[in-house]
Amino acid sequence: MRRFPAMPQTVSSAPAVFAPWADPQARPLIEFRGVTKRFGSFTAVDGLDLKIYEREFFALLGPSGCGKTTLMRMLAGFEEVTEGQILLEGRDLAGVPPNRRPVNMMFQSYALFPHLSVWDNIAFGLRRDRLPRDVIAERVEEMLKLVQLTRFARRKPHQISGGQKQRVALARALAKAPKLLLLDEPLGALDKKLRQETQFELMGIQEKTGTTFVIVTHDQEEAMTVASRVAVMRDGRLEQVDTPDRIYEFPANAYVADFIGEINLIEGRLAAVEGETARLHWAEGQTPLGGLAPKPAPAAGEKVTLAIRPEKVRISSERPAGAANAVRGRIEDIAYLGNISTYHVVLSTGHVLRAQTVNTDRFHAREHTWGEDVWLSWSDSAGLVLKG
Amino acid sequence: MRRFSWFNLTSLTLGFAFLYLPMLILIVYSFNASKLVTVWAGFSTRWYGELIRNEAFLDAAWVTLRVAVVSSTLATVLGTMAAHALVRGGRFLGRTLFSGMIYAPLVMPEVITGLSLLLLFIAIDLDRGITTIVLAHTTFSMCYVSVVVSSRLVSFDRSIEEAALDLGCTPFEAFRLVTLPIIAPAVIAGWLLAFTLSLDDLVIASFTAGPSATTLPIKIFSSVRLGVSPEINALSTILIAIVAVGVITASLISKRSIARQMQDTRAAIAGA
């Protein structure tokens, strides 16, 4: 008889650091080896290598058409790999049809069976395994409890709300206790507030069940919130695979830096590298600006980009004493978002830099105003000098 | 509610008169006591009685019914399979050609369809009778079924089938357990359409029918050539009644199911 893994009722305290990717001994659950997928002359996925570990919540992030959905459909078995291999626990998945893979998917449209009740939707996969009736019933009840839908078990999909449908789809995909759960833009159809709540629910469920999740999304906030690691994709290639904080603080290149969050990019040529700090020439007659140097450091004179997040740029009326980098400009625009304000400052060189302040004080929300001349400053470790 | 203008009322009356006056006259004269079709001689159900005693008509009616049931069932199976292959089969060699070819019989003159089938049956030396009529009707009505079913398949979310595969179904199980129940209304509509087409087909049936089997439309047509008898009027009235009951039932069923769905949705919104 099939046994489902027991679900701990209380969340056991996770090991201090969950980072199997940092351990060279760790065996990946999923491994992509030089995977390429072509549709006719179009290459959707291009020679991709990637390892995903057990219990990970892995996010594939990228604009539409970057190949993230194709990657997921290859994992589910709906698309065949053109070149390379996908290994699940070391076994090649080539030629294994979707119904024979220990992988389940939660579809973007939820794809609930409209003619079946919530209960029967969740039981559907278990019934295909010819499990005894009481085992199925117990598992379905457990799943209903997990997603808090016990009350709605007898309803048909058109009789429940969008958020409830999303939870039914999740319960149905989890019912068979797959080794890997794929989530295709799972929260795309929900409104913003519900989406944020559901993100935390998803994380809770992932922790509770210990299932490995791979989520596809174009929403960077969502990826950053839920994932243990994020892969940023562009044109069928991986730009960077790392933890959310590393992706944000240490983007591998200007594309990732620009794709994740807001950032100021200043192009220039490398002037010099002193220890950790690299300085770049960015405009005629201006003092070179500094940021963390890339490793290995490129030669002086090579093209580099200074990337600095708006929240790391200070705005002030007077030049702050001892600031490592300071530039002068005039406020052109202010985006007031309630909790923060973003100032768009035009420098004499024509560059537009953004600086953010947190509005902690209700009555001094706007210290600076339109047309005001201000100083922007940051420390040498605030910015990042990127190659190219 | 808005009141009808004179113009609307006039066009409505004329339209309905144009459509239904001939049938009304037929129904009225089926209750005529006189043997002469055009002379009214008082109310009578005499011709209905005569009809029941007319073996030839009853035989033809029985043949027609059997042909219609068998051919529409076959056409539904084949047409649904064809629609599924064309809509879901992805891109395969000659797909455009196939989908064009499956719709061609829709516009093909019936005379040509009938003649070509007749030539085929002669070539393979098949005795003409019920079998040949069934085959002929299946052939021409399956493309209607396929049109109805594929329009439903096109509008339904492909990922529902993928979800079934993902949850452990073989492709056939996915079709049987998920696709078929969802497209069932279209399949039933296709069956009804095929049944009706078979019931009233005259041209193709007269090419493919043999001396051993005559369908009702052929029987009616041949007896009308000898003069319209009041019995034909009675028979036609019965047919009109059957069709009317069928159409009204079908529309009531679909209306009720829509109403129920709306009610369910309202309940869900209120209960959420």
* Residues pairing with A291 in the sheet: A278
pLDDT > 70? residue A90:
yes
Q: Take residue A95 and report the two structure tokens written for it.
A: 């030629």
Q: What SS3 class is residue B256?
A: helix
Residue B268 CB contacts under 8 Å (≥ 6 apart), including other chains: A155, A158, A159, A160, A161
Is residue A200 located within the same domain as residue A281?
no
Long-range contacts of A206-211 (CB under 8 A, 24+ apart): A206/A57, A207/A11, A207/A14, A208/A7, A208/A8, A208/A11, A208/A146, A209/A5, A209/A7, A209/A146, A209/A174, A209/A177, A210/A5, A210/A55, A211/A55, A211/A174, A211/A177, A211/A178, A211/A179, A211/A180, A211/A181
Query: pLDDT tens-digit profile of A177-220?
Result: 999 999 999 888 788 888 888 899 889 989 888 899 999 998 88
Count Cβ atoms below 10 Å from residue B250 Cβ, excluding itself: 13
Quick one: closest CA in A to B182, which residue? A115
Find chain A residues with C-beta within 8 A of B170's C-beta. 99
Closest Cα in chain A, distance from residue B138 (Å): 30
B264 in contact with chain A, both atoms CB, cutoff 8 A: yes
Count Cβ atoms below 10 Å from residue B24 Cβ, excluding itself: 11
Determine whether the interchain pair B268/A112 forms a contact, defined as Cβ–Cβ distance below 8 Å.
Answer: no
Nearest-angstrom CA–CA distance, A180 and A183: 10
Is residue A193 located within the same domain as residue A88?
yes
Find chain B residues with C-beta within 8 A of A109's C-beta. 157, 159
Closest Cα in chain B, distance from residue A192 (Å): 18
Determine whether the interchain pair B272/A128 forms a contact, defined as Cβ–Cβ distance below 8 Å.
Answer: no
- The least confident of A12-21, A149-158, A361-370, B224-233 is A12-21
Could you tell me the residue ranges of all domains in chain B? Answer: 62-226
| Complex prediction ipTM | 0.83
Q: Is the dihedral of CA B242, B247, B252, B254 positive or negative?
A: positive
Is residue A60 located within the same domain as residue A98?
yes
pLDDT of residue B189: 84
Q: What SS3 class is residue A317?
A: coil
**Half-sphere exposure for A29 (CA within 13 Å, toward CB):** 19
Determine whether the interchain pair A98/B157 forms a contact, defined as Cβ–Cβ distance below 8 Å.
Answer: no
- The least confident of A297-306, A324-333, B213-222, B227-236 is B227-236
pLDDT > 90? residue B88:
no
pLDDT > 90? residue B140:
no
Is residue A229 located within the same domain as residue A348?
no
Predicted structure pTM score: 0.80
In a domain, A7, yes or no: no
Last residue of one domain, picked from the residues A254, A277, A300 = A254
Closest Cα in chain B, distance from residue A2 (Å): 15
In a domain, A361, yes or no: yes
Determine whether the interchain pair A159/B265 forms a contact, defined as Cβ–Cβ distance below 8 Å.
Answer: yes
Tell me how many domains chain A contains. 2
B263 in contact with chain A, both atoms CB, cutoff 8 A: no
In a domain, A67, yes or no: yes
Q: Take residue B57 and report the two structure tokens written for it.
A: 């008509």
pLDDT of residue A135: 94
What is the percentage of chain B residues whose pLDDT exceeds 90? Answer: 26
Count Cβ atoms below 10 Å from residue A322 Cβ, excluding itself: 8
* Averaged confidence pLDDT in chain A: 89
In a domain, A88, yes or no: yes
**Chain Cα centroid distance, residue B147:** 13
Determine whether the interchain pair B166/A108 forms a contact, defined as Cβ–Cβ distance below 8 Å.
Answer: no
Nearest-angstrom CA–CA distance, A39 and A33: 19
pLDDT > 90? residue B247:
no
Is residue A88 located within the same domain as residue A145?
yes
Nearest-angstrom CA–CA distance, A223 and A59: 6
Quick one: closest CA in B to A105, which residue? B166
Determine whether the interchain pair A104/B159 forms a contact, defined as Cβ–Cβ distance below 8 Å.
Answer: no
Q: Take residue B244 and report the two structure tokens written for it.
A: 């009317």
Is residue A149 located within the same domain as residue A61?
yes
What CATH code is carried by the domain that includes residue A168? 3.40.50.300
pLDDT of residue A231: 95
Query: pLDDT tens-digit profile of A254-307?
Result: 999 999 989 999 999 999 888 889 999 998 888 889 899 888 888 888 899 999
> Which among A78, A115, A172 has CB closest to B162?
A78
- Give the pLDDT band of residue A70 (cuts 50, 70, 90): very high
Is residue A188 located within the same domain as residue A104?
yes
- Give the pLDDT band of residue A329 (cuts 50, 70, 90): very high
Closest Cα in chain A, distance from residue B104 (Å): 31
pLDDT of residue A373: 93
Determine whether the interchain pair A97/B165 forms a contact, defined as Cβ–Cβ distance below 8 Å.
Answer: yes
- Give the pLDDT band of residue A15 (cuts 50, 70, 90): low
pLDDT > 90? residue B76:
yes
B270 in contact with chain A, both atoms CB, cutoff 8 A: no
What is the percentage of chain B residues whose pLDDT exceeds 70? Answer: 92
Determine whether the interchain pair A99/B160 forms a contact, defined as Cβ–Cβ distance below 8 Å.
Answer: no
pLDDT of residue A234: 93
Considering the domain B62-226 in this protein, what is its CATH number? 1.10.3720.10
pLDDT > 60? residue A328:
yes
Find chain A residues with C-beta within 8 A of B166's C-beta. 76-77, 98-99, 103-105, 173
pLDDT > 50? residue B144:
yes
Question: What backbone torsions phi and psi does residue A193 show, to the nearest 5 degrees?
Answer: -65, -45
Domain interval for residue A212? 24-254
Count Cβ atoms below 10 Å from residue A260 Cβ, excluding itself: 22
One-letter identity of residue A149: L
B176 in contact with chain A, both atoms CB, cutoff 8 A: no
Quick one: closest CA in A to B169, which residue? A99
Query: pLDDT tens-digit profile of A97-108?
Result: 999 999 999 999
Query: pLDDT tens-digit profile of B152-205?
Result: 888 888 899 999 999 999 999 999 999 999 888 888 888 888 888 888 889 999
- Give the pLDDT band of residue B272 (cuts 50, 70, 90): very low
pLDDT of residue A116: 94
- Using the CB atoms, write b or e for B173-185: b if 16+ within 10 Å: ebbebbbeebbee
